[in-house]
């Protein structure tokens, strides 16, 4: 049986837990995979892990917030492969640390706005750069990563919930513009994977006495809404991304795919 993404060229922004899982799935399904990220160490580790699993990918240090860097990166990918079929962006904020766990009234506007600015800018820059290379060929899939607080009301998520909601709104608008030209735009919406706990911790407010209790409240709220009693593994996210990027999902666009165990929509 032919792999889902044989002879396709895919770029992934972000070499962290989610980006790495998606890159692995794309490589396993036969795509030529190029991973862009800010940190050299993370890129090297991901390349080593994929190679140890029998796959291969190409890495490059690229800041998804830098339009010129993204354009140059995609120029090199297209020059090397002849085209671009899939773009997946799973980047985080531009600086370590975060404000999740703090109440909105405890935040400065700058801390609240950081994920709003970084998430929307990274998705805007990478998606439009991808579209410019997909539209002339009349095909392609652009995918973005969001999370449960975009749809489900969670307290103490600072600007992250609004940022993910903004990304989903942007994706729908872009899908409406690009659909007639053959390019699909989708979001994957996750409840959070246990293997990504370290990445999630990097977004939490530090030195906040209330944080453990507030985190426990998130867990209780999530467990009460989850219909399956299990959380998405990173492999689940990668597998869904590969399916959506393939010819098995030719009319899926302008929507957000649920990876929350049914938490969304209840």
Q: What pLDDT does residue 265 have?
A: 59
Give strand pairing partners of 239. Answer: none
Report the Cα 5 to chain-centroid distance in Å: 19
The residue with tokens 């989850």 is 226
Please state which of the ranges 23-27, 134-138, 227-231 shows the lowest mean pLDDT.
227-231
Q: What pLDDT is stored for residue 231 in this prediction?
A: 86
Element (H, E) at 190: strand 183-190
Cα separation, 10 vs 22, whole angstroms:
10
Handedness of CA 22, 70, 40, 9 (dihedral sign): positive
Instruction: Give the pairing of strands 9-13 and 58-61.
Output: unpaired
What pTM, to 2 d.p., does this model score?
0.94
The C-alpha atoms of residue 247 and residue 184 are separated, in whole angstroms, by: 11
Distance CA 190, CA 235 (A): 12
pLDDT in tens, 194-244: 777 777 777 888 888 888 898 888 888 888 888 998 889 999 999 999 999
The yes-or-no verdict on residue 250 having pLDDT over 70 is: yes
Question: In this predicted model, what pLDDT tens digit does every residue of 103-120 receive, in sequence order?
Answer: 999 999 999 999 999 999
Tell me if the domain spanning 9-259 has CATH number 3.40.50.10490: no
Q: Which of 31, 25, 34, 23 lies closest to 62 in space, CA to CA? A: 34
The tens digit of pLDDT for each residue in 30-57 reads 999 999 999 899 999 999 999 888 888 9
- The phi and psi torsions of 64 (rounded to 5 degrees) equal -65, -15
Q: Per DSSP, what are the bridge partners of residue 11?
A: 34, 87
Is the pLDDT confidence value at 98 over 70?
Answer: no
- pLDDT value for 165: 96
pLDDT (average), residues 182-202: 85
More confident residue, 187 or 230: 187
Helix (H) or strand (E) holding 77: helix 67-81
Average pLDDT over residues 148-155: 89
């Amino acid at each position: 049986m032919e792999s889902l993404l044989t002879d396709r060229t895919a770029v992934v922004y972000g070499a962290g837990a989610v980006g790495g899982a998606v890159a692995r799935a794309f490589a396993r399904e036969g795509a030529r995979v190029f991973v862009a990220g800010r940190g050299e160490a993370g890129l090297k580790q991901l390349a080593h892990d994929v190679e140890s699993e029998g796959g291969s990918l190409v890495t490059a240090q690229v800041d998804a917030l830098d339009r010129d860097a993204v354009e140059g990166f995609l120029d090199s990918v297209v020059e090397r492969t002849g085209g671009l079929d899939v773009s997946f962006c799973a980047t985080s904020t531009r600086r370590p640390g975060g404000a999740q766990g703090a109440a909105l009234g405890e935040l400065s506007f700058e801390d609240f706005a950081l994920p709003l600015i970084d998430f929307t800018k990274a998705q805007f820059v990478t998606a439009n750069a991808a579209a410019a290379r997909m539209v002339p060929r009349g095909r392609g899939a652009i995918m973005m990563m969001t999370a449960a607080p975009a749809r489900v009301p969670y307290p103490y998520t600072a600007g992250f919930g609004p940022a993910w909601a903004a990304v989903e709104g942007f994706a729908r608008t872009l899908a409406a513009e690009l659909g007639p030209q053959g390019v699909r735009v989708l979001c994957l919406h996750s409840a959070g994977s246990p293997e990504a706990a370290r990445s999630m911790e990097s977004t939490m407010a530090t030195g906040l006495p209330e944080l453990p209790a507030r985190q426990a409240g998130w867990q209780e709220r999530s467990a009460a809404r989850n219909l399956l009693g299990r959380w998405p593994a990173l492999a689940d996210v990668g597998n869904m991304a590969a399916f959506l990027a393939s010819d098995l999902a030719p009319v899926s666009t302008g929507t957000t795919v649920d990876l929350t165990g049914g938490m969304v929509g209840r």
